[in-house]
Amino acid sequence: MTHPTDPSDSRRAAGCPSRSPALYLYVTAFVGGAVSLGVELAASRLLAPFFGDSLPVWAAIIGLILLYLTVGYFLGGRWADHSPRAATLYQIALWGAFAVGILPFVSRPILWLTAQGLFQLRLSAVLGPFIAVLLIFALPVTLLGCLSPFVVRLLMARVEQAGAVAGRVYGISTVGSLLGTLLTVFVLVPALGTRLTFVTLSLALLLVALIGLVREHPRRALLYSWMPILVLALALCGRRGPVKPHEGAIYEAESAYHYIQIVERGGCRYLFLNEGMAIQSVYCPGARRVGGTWDLFAIAPFFNPPPFGPSEVRSLAMVGLAGGTIPKLYTAFFGPIPIDGVELDPKIAAVGREFFGMREPNLRVVVGDGRAFLARTDRRYTVVAVDAYRLPYIPWHLTTVEFFQEARRHLEEQGVVVVNVGRVPGDDRLVAAIAATLKEVFPSVHAIEIPDSFNTILVATVQPTSPENLRANRAYLSDPALREIADEALANLRPVPPGGTVLTDDRAPVEAITHAIILAYLFGRE
């Protein structure tokens, strides 16, 4: 019968760390937790240019990542029982970190195919790649989930210490998750972008795992030294290409809120956000009109009782400024009236100044939430314009009775609210809901359907009004371009859809309405 001569042999038999001190195992749990939550938050930014940043996308990401972590917890516990060695732990961490690092690069072809499906609105082309993109997180997140239970097993010297050890490991891992959340949202993504955020998270865990493996098994660590080299090489090569190729693209950036892309064609510039299904702003230097939805915003105040001419338009509050297309039109038609343009994303405001000529001296740019701005300002306006909705990403707090009551409190006696509402052909449920909500606050609501688009303009007036007012006020429009817009509005006036759910701060099922609309349209197309 032989007896171990090295005390560390008996510690290995008990499942205790040998050359890897307990402190370093806690460091591994901490960094693993940080990377796990960092990956979850960065995942939304990876998908945003192709799927947007809607509630369903977040639900899918959170749900599947929680599933992968759960699988990792079970798998990591069983793995640790079968191979209770620190070297095994660090190899798992290395493969998980490596998978995180290459993820934004290997996913690009799938994302591109997904974008094509979205633009063509083919259900099969959307759901297949969408599921595939979510599945690419299965390997890295599952491996990251293995780390904490594995660390618990290695640190557990006696059964009676199990509770304290498990609590300590999961507590430290959770603190790491908190740090990973804050760093990813407030530092990494804004400063480095999505791809380099994944690379940074990957390299952090690769470094920890390689150091740990060097302490345990130096020769084996050499076999993994290629991993950080390959991740860095991909980062250096990948940063030269665009996140999402687009013909005519002259600029792209990632902000704390959006993926931003600017495309130039036909002498005009167009602003796209996230998946790029809709144009958010257009700038055609020297043009008095840009067409479509933006022009119709300029005609809204002329629903007031006649006589009402351009000189009666004295001010504008723009909620959803984007690149400043509507304030530019208002300045062109009504002169240098005071305009407050509210934009949530400071990066978009900066893009508006640089690429969309948004430098009107009468425009005051306010970075913040539109509803919060109205709540704290004491100004009154002729027009409050809302262009912050885009299917299916509608800020519900800008759709409710309470929001429109706030807007009305800031309107002049002949003031109007004008709202751009998305729709799909043959389905006016969202338009009906917003119109029904406006009717709770304003005596009159009018609908202008934009031809060849997915948009309806709703105009709500403080005074009781009728469509005939617009026809009568046309005589007071000396600007030929403004008369043309009035004619287009009159030709596309539609009855306000009946019924509709009244939206309130307590109950605003905007997501349910938009999801039903989009699914019905997609299935109908199939």
Residue 22's alpha-carbon distances to 143, 153, 159, 212, 489, in angstroms, are 21, 12, 17, 11, 73
Between CA 40 and CA 178 the distance in angstroms is: 12
Between CA 265 and CA 281 the distance in angstroms is: 14
DSSP string across 65-100: HHHHHHHHHHHHHHHHHH---HHHHHHHHHHHHHHH
Lowest mean pLDDT among 48-57, 139-148, 496-505: 48-57
Between CA 498 and CA 509 the distance in angstroms is: 18
- Residue 421 CA, distance from chain mean position: 19
Between CA 330 and CA 333 the distance in angstroms is: 5
Does residue 271 register a pLDDT over 80? yes
pLDDT band, very low/low/confident/very high, at 54 (cuts 50, 70, 90): low
Q: Which of 58-62, 157-161, 178-182, 311-315 has the highest mean pLDDT?
A: 311-315
Does residue 189 register a pLDDT over 70? yes
H or E element in which residue 140 lies? helix 138-145
Q: How much is the pTM? A: 0.76
Token pair, residue 146, equals 């293995």
Residues in Cβ contact with 384 at an 8 Å cutoff, skipping those fewer than 6 apart: 316, 317, 319, 374, 407, 410, 411, 415, 416, 417, 418
Token pair, residue 342, equals 């509210």
Sheet of 259-265, strand order: 249-254, 259-265, 268-273, 279-283
Q: 363-367 and 339-343 as β-strands: parallel, antiparallel, unpaired? A: parallel
pLDDT tens digit string along 344-390?
Answer: 999 999 999 999 999 999 999 999 999 999 999 999 999 999 999 87
Does residue 16 register a pLDDT over 70? no
First to last CA, the chain: 75
* 3-class DSSP string for 260-329: EEEEEECCEEEEEECCCCCEEEEECCCCCCCCHHHHHHCCHHHHCCCCCCHHHCCCEEEECCCCCHHHHH
CA proximity to 513, closest of 526, 497, 494: 497
pLDDT band, very low/low/confident/very high, at 244 (cuts 50, 70, 90): low
pLDDT band, very low/low/confident/very high, at 9 (cuts 50, 70, 90): very low
Between CA 440 and CA 435 the distance in angstroms is: 9
- How many CB atoms lie under 10 A from the CB of residue 301? 27
pLDDT band, very low/low/confident/very high, at 194 (cuts 50, 70, 90): confident
**Across 407-421, average pLDDT:** 96
Q: Which domains does the chain have, with CATH numbers?
A: 14-238 (1.20.1250), 288-525 (3.40.50.150)
pLDDT tens digit string along 119-155?
Answer: 454 444 445 546 666 778 899 999 999 999 999 999 9
pLDDT band, very low/low/confident/very high, at 199 (cuts 50, 70, 90): very high
Does residue 91 register a pLDDT over 80? yes
Does residue 226 register a pLDDT over 90? yes
**Residues 417 and 459 sit within 8 Å (Cβ to Cβ):** yes
The amino acid at 66: L
